[in-house]
Amino acid sequence: PIRICILGPPAVGKSTVAAKICKHYKLYHITVQDAIAEKMTQLEEMVRMDDQEGESYDTSGAQELLETLRDNMNLNEDYVFSMDATDEFLKDRVRNLPESIVEGTHYTQDRFPHHLAVFRDRNSQDETVLDYFDELEIHPEHIEVTSEEDPEYLSVTKKIIRAVGPSKNYGPSEEERAEEEMRNAEERIRLLAAEKEERERKEAEEAAVRAARLEEWGKNLREVKRQEQEMLEVRALPLRNYLMKNVMPSLTEALVECCKVKPDDPVDYLAEYLLRSSAHVD
């Protein structure tokens, strides 16, 4: 992972910027240098004892771990940034800090001036932390903090990110992968629910359209039947007139006569009567 060192006077905003940088590069904001140095010292002691005393210590794993640590320390790039600000700016910033933040720290108005003076005195000597990095060919980059209009230190954070470049991490942690899988699962569930809702909405719309079409079709069918009935009635009118003029009088007369005579076979009687009457019709 990337190693970044942020220096500067007290209350200049180092912790705020470091937290944002760690979040951007997915780094752990913890102090591990002392633990690594202690472990390397122990491993070196184990290897040295094995070489001097000739005893059969199983130090192959220790030797391999030591070489790995050394390689990693050499391969990783170092970045040092020094956040600079005037004493007046720092004092104004401390005066404007909330009481909940300064409580229990040296950022109180009584203690901060002395703490700042000690820092200035130590950094005015011949050997400072910045000089140490210069000797290691790691030249610190100075960033002036002069504006109180950027309490989140976004401009400072952007400058550091621009100087460091893209992330060189090996990948997300187990917790981050688990969170990503959880987010992906929730997103899939949300998409499936949205697709189901959209499908049900479309089905409801299609059902409504089908019902409207069936209603329209039934209405049109009833109208067609009505028009056909009217047409049949219109077409049947001449035939009705013919029957009323030429058939109904003879048939009525035959029925009346049949009622008077009361023959044994009324149908045969009507047929003969109509046959005789037809001889007189032109």
Q: Do 76 and 1 meet the contact criterion of CB atoms below 8 Å apart?
A: yes
Would the pLDDT of 258 be above 80? Answer: yes
Distance CA 19, CA 98 (A): 19
How does DSSP classify residue 105?
A: S
18-38: per-residue pLDDT in tens?
Answer: 888 888 887 777 654 556 667
**Over the stretch 192-225, which tens digit does the pLDDT of each residue have?**
999 999 999 999 999 999 999 999 999 999 999 9
Q: Specify whether the CB–CB gap between 94 and 107 falls below 8 A.
A: yes
Distance CA 206, CA 210 (A): 6
Higher pLDDT, 40 or 179: 179
H/E stretch holding 78 reads strand 78-84
Amino acid in the structure at residue 3: R
Which of the 8 DSSP states describes residue 143?
E
Maximum Cα interatomic distance, the chain, rounded to a whole number of Å: 156
Q: Is residue 164 a contact partner of residue 79, using CB atoms and an 8 Å limit?
A: yes
Match 């003029």 to its residue by tokens: 245
Q: Is 147 helix (H, G, I), strand (E, B) or coil?
A: coil
Pairing assessment for the beta strands 3-7 and 141-144 based on DSSP bridges: unpaired
* Domains (range + CATH), the chain: 3-171 (3.40.50), 179-278 (no CATH)
The 10s digit of each residue's pLDDT in 99-155 is 877 777 778 888 888 988 988 888 887 778 888 888 888 888 999 988 777 778 888
Within 13 Å and on the Cβ side, how many CA atoms surround 126? 0
pLDDT higher than threshold 70 for residue 9: yes
For helices 154-164 and 14-25, the axis angle rounded to 10 degrees is 50
Cα(93)–Cα(76) distance, rounded to whole angstroms? 35
- Model confidence over 66-112: pLDDT tens digits? 566 555 555 445 789 999 999 999 988 888 888 877 777 778 888 88
Question: How is 113-140 classified by DSSP, letter by letter?
Answer: HHHHHHHHHHTTSSS-HHHHHHHTT---
